[in-house]
Structure 1
């Protein structure tokens, strides 16, 4: 894999040694969905926004599923490895001070899957409405990572119990995990944006 293995948008940091932010869209989104948001969130950072290379009824995704909340685990494994290689290639080229990930829905799921498989790639992650419908194996290398999870208490796609289970798992691995709820569903609310800004502001 290389820095060109996914269709993507990129903004290179103006100076070397700045953070590198990867942003991952939700189902039906593309590389534009969070690109400008990322630019505004950390203006000094480099930004990489890949487009998912799986189509589901014309909607771009990062891995296949057989139904709502039912993942093709073999495909997820292959595409997690491919995404990890893509991220590693950009990290090697940019030589950033830290690597941060932000993903929404399907984008949060591929980001989480990469972190579980190769935790050395990211220092911090923001998972908006993730759904990890399996019990991850212990991953001691997550110790010390900073993770923000945002979720809706009435989300019909990501059941709150599964969101809580993911947060509990990350905490058990030693990750510094912050879980922020809003009363709505799968939509992104302003309170989540505020939580993201606070999270980023603590380290950038």
Structure 2
């Protein structure tokens, strides 16, 4: 699968950052954030292939929070192959994933299936409504989860349950909460900077 993607070539041997947009975003939504957070990094931002009423996404759903799990699995595996090819192209040894909303969900799905791909992950407002199998490969992975306490799309109890799951697998989880909803607040960017400082 050859995704349409925004690419910034980094310095030789630099880390590689993949960014994944939210529903209705595109490959440019967070692309510049990669080089802002890690100077000199390679940055690749693939565009979601699913068109939901004009809004781009990474996988299909039938309703808010109701995912087409077969489509999710197929597109997850296609995206993993794309990412592995990009990593091979640069030879990067440190791989970072940053995703918001639907982008956070596909990033989490990839990590649950193949925890070896990403060394560090940022999940901005994830919603993982399915039951996760144990994944010992997540042990030691650095993960930042940011969320809104009044997020109508990603309810707080489900986010806290997913964080508890990640911690139970041995992941090193950092949390950043704000009292608002699904929008990204300035304190989340502060948490991002601190995570990569």
Say yes or no: TM over 0.5: yes
Deviation, 1:122, is 0.2
Deviation, 1:113, is 0.3
Paired residues for 1:27-46 under 5 Å = 27-46=23-42
The aligned residue for residue 10 of structure 1 is: 7
CA distance in 2, matches of 1:45, 1:145: 19
Is 1:77 the counterpart of 2:73? The answer is yes
Is 1:137 the counterpart of 2:128? The answer is no
The aligned residue for residue 181 of structure 1 is: 177
CA distance in 1, matches of 2:37, 2:138: 24
What SS does structure 1 have at the residue aligned with 2:189?
helix
CA distance in 2, matches of 1:50, 1:161: 30
TM-score (norm 1): 0.95
Offset from partner CA, 1:1-53 (integer Å, 9 cap, x none)? 4xxx1000101112x21100000000000001001122212121100000000
CA distance in 1, matches of 2:174, 2:37: 18
The aligned residue for residue 186 of structure 2 is: 190
Offset from partner CA, 1:76-134 (integer Å, 9 cap, x none)? 00000001101111111111130000000000000000000111100000000000001
Could you tell me which runs of 5 or more consecutive residues in structure 1 were left unpaired when the two chains were aligned.
none
Give the root-mean-square deviation of aligned CA atoms: 0.7
What SS does structure 2 have at the residue aligned with 1:148?
strand
TM-score (norm 2): 0.98
What SS does structure 1 have at the residue aligned with 2:43?
strand
Paired residues for 1:92-171 under 5 Å = 92-171=88-167
What SS does structure 2 have at the residue aligned with 1:134?
coil
CA distance in 2, matches of 1:63, 1:135: 18
CA distance in 1, matches of 2:182, 2:139: 29
Number of aligned residue pairs: give it.
197
